Every structure is written in structure tokens, then in C-alpha cells.
């Protein structure tokens, strides 16, 4: 891989998954280099920026070649049309913005919607398949290719129906919702399996937007941002069964826990079978990582892996208060290679209890 030691990273990530990284947490630092060359001219339209496969792949390689990867950071490209791609494959449309995209909800009445099934002729599927194939062809071992951002369960249905309408559906049309969750999960499995088949022809293990590599197993994040809008009872009745299906589908999984509004479900999440870890994202406007140490300790005391983002100034306090085993810290605010190297030494020292 570009600028990194493949065998070192493979060993470190196996240690992470097995909670055998006894020296320090995995530390991931990315720094832009100053020799940014060969960046392609931006297309004229927003759509082309997202869907011009040649442009997307050239930009990805250019970014990777002009990035310094410190610690256990990995050169990776994740094909991406936005978080509603599964919903689009299931029937909605996507509208693009500069740097983001969103779903155009298409379901007014569940009773009038045909069963949700996978269609290999769906244009959104064909585009994400095309980008994934192009990335695998281009990578040639220089970087890893991830599986795109897929959201099943109620998050997938939100793409079709909208969050407010889906909240009402849980009260007025609950039987239909359970049926549709099962249908979109079937599409989810088909999409994942097809993308995984494309990638594994040229690549060991799996990776995704979370930037955690498993060199040996099929793993994926599980999540439900919709959970912030529902009670514990609704979460247990409508979301947990789908999460269990996802966890049974993969060899390993980490839960994306996003914002204080999701914390009321934490105890139930910690009980989920086959869940390996939790990524904690405090959310915009919330306290930084070091303010959440009691929460992180609770997660760790329940035997779960942890991924957390923090500023470079908080790495030492996190290392002093958490066991290193099974912890990955994504670090921002690092300004030089030397600072990155010094940070690794600091993490080792701070992890010695």
C-alpha cells in the first residue's frame, strides 16, 4: 500500500479485533501533504462530480497519494453516493449537493407500494457497482476499497418514507413496517454480497467508511439514526430485531452510536448478541471526547471495542483512562509527521497504568 507497511497494519488490526494491542490504542493520523499534483479539473455539474466514475477514481487516488498516514491510519477509498444509496436501490431518488446528498422520499402509502426487491437494472445499483469495480481495478494494492454506506432497517425505510411519516407509521401501521423492514434487509444482503464479491477478488478482508480493517472477516457497521426519534419500547419492538438480523449476517460488527439522543438505548445495545464494539460520536455542539470517559469506560467494561475521534490534545487523557486493548482513536489537529510520531510515543507512555 502507498506509504504504509501492509504487514504491520494487518497485524495491528488483528490485534485490535482480538484485544491484543497491549502497548497502546490504535492511533490514526492523516495529514495532507504539500505536493498535491495531478488533481483533475472539476466537472461542470454537481451530478458529474458524484457520478463521473473516471473523475471520482482519479480524485480518490490523488487524495491518497497526497496524504501522510500516521500510526494505524489506512489508505482507503469508499465508493459513495451518500447515505441513502440503499433506499435509492429500493426505489427512492437521490438529490445531490456539494459534498452531500439526500433522499427524495417516494412512498405516500405503504399499501400502494409493491414489495421491495433487488433490481440489478436499478440505475443507482449500477452506478455504485461501476464505481466499486473501477476502484478495485485502479487500486492494484495501493489502497483498500471499502463497501459503500448501507443503511437497512428503519433508516432504510426513512429514505423511502421520511422520518416524520415513519414515526406515525409505527403507531398506525406497525405490521406493514415490520414487513418492509424484512424486505429492505433482503435488498441490503444482496447489495452487500455483490459488492463484497467484487472487492474480495483483489483484497484481503473488509473495510468501510469507519476506516477499521478486518483482514480476515466480513464486518460492517450497524446503526440506526432513527433511534433518536423513538422510545425504548419502539426501539426494542421495531429496531432491535432488524439489528439482530444484521449482526447474524456478518462475522463482526461495530455499532455507530450517534449523539446524546441515542444514549437511552445504550443498555439494550450492549446486550445485543454478536456485537463487537461501539463507535461513539458525541455530535455537533456536544462535549469533546475526553468529557465522555465514563461512557467509554462503561462500553469497555461491557467487553466492547471502541472507536472514538478526538483532538490531539485529548489523546493522553484517553490513554490514561481507557485500557488500550480494542481501542482505536482517530486523531485530528496533528500538524506534522514529527508530531504524529511523537504522539505514538506519548500514547505508549500514557497507556502504562
- Could you read off the pLDDT of 216-243 as tens digits, one per residue? 999 999 999 999 999 999 999 999 999 9
Question: What is the distance between the alpha carbons of residues 123 and 140, in angstroms, rounded to a whole number?
Answer: 27
Are residues 240 and 176 in contact, defined by beta-carbon separation less than 8 angstroms? Answer: no
Q: What angle do CA 279, 284, 288 make, to 5 degrees?
A: 65
Q: What angle do CA 88, 151, 191 make, to 5 degrees?
A: 65
Q: Is 1 within a domain?
A: no
Proportion of the chain above pLDDT 90, given as a percent: 92
Q: Give SS3 for 265.
A: helix
Q: Is 105 within a domain?
A: yes
pLDDT in the model for residue 38? 72
Question: What is the distance between the alpha carbons of residues 57 and 224, in angstroms, rounded to a whole number?
Answer: 29
Task: State the average pLDDT for the chain.
Answer: 96
Nearest C-alpha neighbor of 13 from the set 208, 213, 207, 209: 213
What mean pLDDT is predicted for residues 124-137? Answer: 98
Are residues 257 and 221 in contact, defined by beta-carbon separation less than 8 angstroms? Answer: no
Nearest C-alpha neighbor of 75 from the set 151, 6, 156, 132: 6
CB atoms within 10 A of CB 13: 22
Tell me which of 235 and 3 has the higher pLDDT. 235
Lowest mean pLDDT among 36-50, 292-306, 318-332: 36-50
Residue 36 grid coordinates? 498535491
pLDDT in the model for residue 36? 64
pLDDT in the model for residue 204? 96
Q: Is 146 within a domain?
A: yes
Is the pLDDT at 21 greater than 90, yes or no? yes
Question: What is the distance between the alpha carbons of residues 56 and 333, in angstroms, rounded to a whole number?
Answer: 27
The β-bridge partners of 252 are: 219
Question: What is the distance between the alpha carbons of residues 281 and 285, in angstroms, rounded to a whole number?
Answer: 11
pLDDT in the model for residue 291? 94
CB atoms within 10 A of CB 188: 24
Give residue 5's pLDDT band: very low, low, confident or very high (50, 70, 90).
very high
Q: Is 143 within a domain?
A: yes
CA 177 to chain centre: 25
DSSP state of 111: G
Burial class of 287 by CB neighbour count within 10 A (0 to 12, 13 to 18, 19+): exposed
Question: What is the distance between the alpha carbons of residues 66 and 2, in angstroms, rounded to a whole number?
Answer: 10
Compute and round to an integer the Cα radius of gyration of the chain: 20
Q: Is 13 within a domain?
A: yes
Are residues 186 and 173 in contact, defined by beta-carbon separation less than 8 angstroms? Answer: no
Q: Give SS3 for 92.
A: coil
Are residues 194 and 119 in contact, defined by beta-carbon separation less than 8 angstroms? Answer: no
Residue 315 sits in a domain of what CATH number? 3.20.20.210
**Distance (Å) of CA 153 to CA 44, 206, 306:** 36, 22, 23
Nearest C-alpha neighbor of 110 from the set 173, 184, 188, 171: 173
Number of domains in the chain: 1
Q: Is 69 within a domain?
A: yes
Question: What is the distance between the alpha carbons of residues 238 and 227, in angstroms, rounded to a whole number?
Answer: 10
Tell me which of 196 and 176 has the higher pLDDT. 196
The β-bridge partners of 254 are: 221, 277
Q: What angle do CA 222, 69, 23 make, to 5 degrees?
A: 75
Q: Label each residue of 223-236 as H, E or C.
A: ECHHHHHCCHHHHH
Give the residue ranges of DSSP H helices in 30-173. Answer: 46-51, 53-65, 85-90, 123-139, 153-161, 163-172
What mean pLDDT is predicted for residues 294-300? Answer: 98
Altogether, the residues listed in the chain come to a count of 353
Question: What is the distance between the alpha carbons of residues 112 and 103, in angstroms, rounded to a whole number?
Answer: 20
Does this model's pTM top 0.85? My answer is yes
Q: Is 320 within a domain?
A: yes
Tell me which of 176 and 323 has the higher pLDDT. 323
pLDDT in the model for residue 84? 98
Q: Is 85 within a domain?
A: yes
DSSP state of 206: B
Per residue in 197-221, pLDDT (tens digit) is 999 999 999 999 999 999 999 999 9
Q: Domain residues for 307?
A: 6-351
Are residues 134 and 64 in contact, defined by beta-carbon separation less than 8 angstroms? Answer: no
Give residue 287's pLDDT band: very low, low, confident or very high (50, 70, 90).
confident
Amino acid at each position: 500500500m502507498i506509504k504504509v507497511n501492509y504487514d504491520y497494519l494487518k497485524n495491528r488490526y488483528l490485534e485490535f479485533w482480538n484485544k491484543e494491542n497491549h502497548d497502546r490504542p490504535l492511533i490514526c493520523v492523516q495529514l495532507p501533504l504539500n505536493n498535491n499534483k495531478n488533481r483533475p479539473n472539476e466537472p461542470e455539474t454537481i451530478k458529474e462530480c458524484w457520478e463521473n466514475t473516471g473523475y471520482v477514481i482519479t480524485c480518490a487516488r490523488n487524495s491518497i497519494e497526497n496524504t501522510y498516514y500516521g500510526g494505524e491510519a489506512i489508505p482507503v477509498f469508499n465508493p459513495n453516493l451518500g447515505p441513502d444509496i440503499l433506499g435509492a436501490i429500493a426505489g427512492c431518488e437521490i438529490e445531490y449537493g456539494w459534498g452531500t446528498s439526500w433522499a427524495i422520499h417516494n412512498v405516500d402509502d405503504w399499501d400502494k407500494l409493491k414489495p421491495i426487491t433487488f433490481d440489478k437494472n436499478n440505475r443507482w445499483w449500477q452506478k455504485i457497482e461501476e464505481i466499486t469495480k473501477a476502484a478495485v481495478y485502479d487500486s492494484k494494492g495501493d489502497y483498500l476499497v471499502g463497501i459503500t454506506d448501507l443503511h437497512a432497517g428503519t433508516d432504510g425505510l426513512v429514505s423511502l418514507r421520511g422520518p416524520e411519516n415513519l414515526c406515525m407509521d409505527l403507531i398506525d401501521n406497525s405490521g406493514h413496517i415490520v414487513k418492509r423492514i424484512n424486505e429492505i434487509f433482503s435488498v441490503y444482503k444482496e447489495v452487500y454480497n455483490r459488492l463484497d464479491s467484487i472487492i474480495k477478488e483483489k483484497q484481503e478482508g473488509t473495510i468501510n467508511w469507519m476506516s477499521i480493517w478486518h483482514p480476515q472477516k466480513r464486518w460492517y457497521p450497524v446503526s440506526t439514526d432513527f433511534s433518536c426519534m423513538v422510545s425504548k419500547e419502539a426501539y426494542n419492538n421495531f429496531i432491535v430485531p432488524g439489528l439482530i438480523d444484521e449482526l447474524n449476517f456478518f462475522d463482526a460488527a461495530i455499532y455507530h452510536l450517534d449523539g446524546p439522543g441515542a444514549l437511552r438505548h445504550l443498555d439494550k445495545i450492549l446486550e445485543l448478541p454478536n456485537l463487537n464494539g461501539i463507535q461513539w460520536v458525541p455530535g455537533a455542539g456536544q462535549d469533546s471526547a475526553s468529557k465522555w470517559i465514563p461512557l467509554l469506560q462503561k462500553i469497555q467494561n461491557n467487553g466492547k471495542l471502541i472507536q472514538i475521534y478526538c483532538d490531539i490534545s485529548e489523546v493522553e487523557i484517553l490513554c490514561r483512562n481507557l485500557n488500550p486493548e480494542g481501542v482505536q482513536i482517530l486523531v485530528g489537529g496533528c500538524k506534522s509527521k514529527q508530531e504524529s510520531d511523537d504522539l505514538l510515543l506519548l500514547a505508549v507512555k500514557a497507556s502504562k497504568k
